[in-house]
Amino acid sequence: MNLTLELKVLADVGLVGFPNAGKSTLLSVVTSAKPKIANYEFTTLKPNLGIVSMTDYRTFVMADIPGIIEGASEGKGLGHYFLRHIERNSILLYVIPVDAKDLKKEFEILNNELKKYNPELIDKDFAIFFSKSDLMDKELLSELEAIIKKDFKKIPYFIGSSINMNGIKSLKEGLWKILN
């Protein structure tokens, strides 16, 4: 008998995003994991896990997975074989950098690639983290937030930066709330 065993990462929160969105950097600032971080696409080639520790002994597990691009379900980029690692995550956190050309389009592409891989994935609870907020000044950020409120109605979202740590505490608390 031949047996194929497949190891699927089991985490509470799975990070989903385009390459270079800041997923690994986020994992590195909210957990003690030390994933490789670099300013080029597809730095992460396999999932990384970390434990987010909060006050009152609260903890949850976060998984950083490789970046996804349009066409991943047809094998573009790293393909989508690693998406099996988010099948068992309780919730998904889409990571979209604030300097993305079109926030909504980026979200829709990611969502669509997930759906093509496994329609059940998009039935999971999810939230969006708009990353790299340090790249924008206050004024630009408030303009952006107005757009987000209009384009992402009812979707829980967070805005923050892994560089200056703005918004990271609210992100952790928000994820905890969704998980519980």
Ligand X SMILES: Nc1nc2c(ncn2[C@@H]2O[C@H](COP(=O)(O)OP(=O)(O)OP(=O)(O)O)[C@@H](O)[C@H]2O)c(=O)[nH]1
Residue ranges binding ligand X (CB under 6 A): 17, 19-25, 37-39, 41-44, 66-67, 131-132, 134-135, 161-163
Supply the minimum distance, in Å, between the C-beta of residue 70 and ligand X: 14
133: tokens are 């907020």
Q: Quick one: what does residue 79 bind among Mg ion, ligand X, none, with the CB cut-off 5 to 8 Å set by partner type?
A: none
Rounded least distance, CB 118 to ligand X, Å: 20
Report residue 148 CA to chain centroid gap. 17
Torsion from C-alpha of 20, 70, 115, 126, nearest 10 degrees: 30
- What string of DSSP letters covers 28-50? HHHSS------SSTT---S-EEE
Task: By CB under 5 A, tell whether 28 contacts Mg ion.
Answer: no
> Of these partners, ligand X, Mg ion, none, which one is at the site of residue 89 (CB under 5 to 8 Å by kind)?
none
Shortest Cβ 118–Mg ion spacing (Å): 22
Q: Which is nearer to ligand X, 81 or 120 (CB)?
A: 81
Q: Which residue is nearest to Mg ion (CB)?
A: 44
State the nearest-atom distance from the C-beta of 39 to ligand X, in Å. Answer: 3
Which residue's Cβ has the minimum distance to ligand X? 67
Determine which residue in the list 14, 18, 22, 24 makes contact with Mg ion, applying CB under 5 A. 24
Please give, one letter per residue, the 3-state secondary structure of 77-138. CCCCHHHHHHCCCCEEEEEEECCCCCHHHHHHHHHHHHHHHCHHHHHCEEEEEEECHHHCCH
* Interstrand relation of 48-53 and 13-17 (parallel, antiparallel or unpaired): unpaired
Distance CA(138)–CA(55), nearest Å, equals 29
- Name the residues that contact Mg ion, by CB under 5 A: 24, 43-44
